[in-house]
Structure 1
């Protein structure tokens, strides 16, 4: 016996019928009689025939694969998001091709090219924190391969995206601190190129002005989200003439870095300085000193919704219309989760 897979041609030759008849019989085409279908399927079973999925996908113009590019899978936030994506992909019979940019823009660009070479039907991506140009997404657009951005979305028009409402989440977080009596509130924000950083800034300003307090730009610093960057931001605040009594950090990881550094300086956490963060990740339950509140961004829900939109776009009938396509812009409401012991 040969190890070479059985082909439709071999079945056709053994049964002395055409290749097209074999193909139609295997696919239960109405033009093929019952007896012929039974003969073909019996022979296919005896020869252990298996359909050539690559050939089928080529003919259909689909690979039934979606690409996903994340900044860091090690982060609980993105692990939860990929779980939501995979659950939807599994339900709709799609395979997920996963890659990590490790928050590097050049790596992200290379991965975009590789995803296209792998002939993915569509792409889900959360952009890296160092991405500040977006031309590399144009290759997908020109090839009519849909892209849905989620969580970290680029500041460009006419895109499909799913993201958390961070402006309202920040308003809630700062308002919570103001109600606790804080008036000098610092913010360790993210890189300026991220839409999420702008939303945090806007929410902060709205909360302060709603309490008739003047916005002090020196109490907001942009950080690269690393531990070293967080320490630099903390030093900025600790040496500030208006030393903050509360600090809002870009996410729970930045909160961890900031709290650990403050403790090394013998600062009493949530007594001398209160901390509020974002993401409400499981890791905060294992910290000796936790933020007093964290903004829940629902990553699993974001991932599910983004995957659903992408698969709808992939399977949407192609239109000959020249009208501008509608873009999915889905905003998931955030929620401030207050620590139980606060």
Structure 2
């Protein structure tokens, strides 16, 4: 069995041309101190010999690996698929490679991915927190290793780190207004876990929107789910068992809405007649359904991903001053289906 050919080195090119390795290196990088003829000779021989730069040496010299890590709860969700596409486009323009990790909302798995990215010396991290994450000590650990991190979508509260997220209050105001204009006064919220920041934001914005439109707020119309199918069914069963059932529901996201639709069919509840539903995320799946929800609140995943990536590269390149980078907040919007 023949041995694989060894990679061509700068020293070998220098030996063949009878010039110094440093001259070869400068010529390959178009250094102005090297004449045009020498540069052309070096590049021509390098091409003939199929020379490839030693990326490890380049990384060491520039103190960069030209990789960023991205940590998301679930890569299969259309929301994060859109975000990833935008992130990879921005990273590609910067000649960076994107490494992906999904936490599956498991804090231990999430931390293992962070540690793996750290040991592989990624130049920065983009992250959307899992719904069960409470310990944020890893932020300080990354700071010690000078690895910048930018959060988007699901972001930590009361922590001074760059964040990109969507202000849900604007979309919720529009959703409640849409319900009110159709005569609904008993409006329910099928929310996520009570400890989740996104759930708290939805709850507070929902309550304020009702007040702003002169509608009553009643705790019994707010039910919580762990966002599993069983949890969503249990939440809907609580609403179904009420003597005065709600005629309109604001659902935590489009996946919860899918379970609501399935639940309604099984219980003989007619969407668009017995109850109207508005949810969050505006997934493209609704256009394929005969009986979609009334609407969904757009949260702009691609814009969030792209903006978060741009901020991260600012931090990596250190083009900005020491002043903290302000949070980037997008306004959500109700989209009718």
Residue 281 of structure 1 corresponds to which residue in structure 2? 283
Change (3 A) 1:291 1:14: same
Q: 1:227 maps to what in 2? A: 229
Aligned with 2:324: secondary structure?
coil
Q: Deviation at 1:253?
A: 0.7
Quick one: which of 315, 329, 334 aligns to 1:336? Answer: 334
Q: In structure 2, how many angstroms separate the alpha carbons of the residues matched to 1:168 and 1:14?
A: 68
Counterpart in 2 of 1:310?
312
What corresponds to 1:127 in structure 2?
129
Cα pair 1:309 1:328 within 8 Å, conserved: no
CA deviations on 1:28-69 (whole Å, 9 max, x unpaired) are: 222233443344334323322111112101210111111111
TM-score under structure 1 length normalisation: 0.92
The alpha carbon displacement at 1:300 in A equals 1.4
Aligned to 1:310, what secondary structure does the other structure show?
helix
Give the match for residue 155 of structure 1: 157
Residue 178 of structure 1 aligns to a residue whose secondary structure is helix
Match of residue 114 from structure 2: 112
Within 5 A, what are the aligned runs for 1:92-241?
92-241=94-243
Separation in 2, partners of 1:6, 1:270: 69
* C-alpha separation in 2, matches of 1:221 and 1:197: 11
Contact 1:166 / 1:334 at 8 angstroms: preserved in 2?
A: yes
Tell me if the contact between 2:314 and 2:320 (Cα under 8 Å) persists in the aligned partners: no
Please name the residue that 2:57 is paired with.
55
Deviation at 1:326, TM superposition (A): 1.0
Alpha-carbon shift at residue 122 of structure 1 (Å):
1.0
Q: How large is the Cα RMSD of the aligned pairs?
A: 1.9
1:180-226 deviation digits (Å, cap 9, x = unpaired)? 11111110111233332222112111111113334222321221111
Question: Aligned partners of 2:287 and 2:114: how far apart in 1?
Answer: 36
State the TM-score, normalized to the length of structure 2.
Answer: 0.93
Q: Distance in 2 between matches of 1:19 and 1:195?
A: 57
Describe the SS at the equivalent of 2:261. helix
SS at structure 1 position matched to 2:34 = coil
Partners of 2:185 and 2:216 within 8 A in 1: no
Question: Is the CA contact 1:169–1:203 (under 8 Å) kept in the aligned structure 2?
Answer: no
Range 207-216 or range 98-107, more displaced: 207-216
3-state SS in 2 of match to 1:158: coil
In structure 2, the gaps of 5 or more residues are: none
Question: Contact 2:169–2:332 at 8 Å: present in 1 too?
Answer: no
Shift of 1:291: 1.0
**Unaligned residue ranges in structure 1 (runs of 5+):** none
1:29 is paired with a residue whose SS is coil
Aligned length: 335
Match of 2:274 among 260, 272, 275: 272
Contact map agreement 1:155 1:194 (CA 8 A) in 2: no
> Distance between the aligned counterparts of 1:193 and 1:137, measured in 2?
20
Equivalent residue in structure 1 for 2:28, among 26, 29, 52: 26
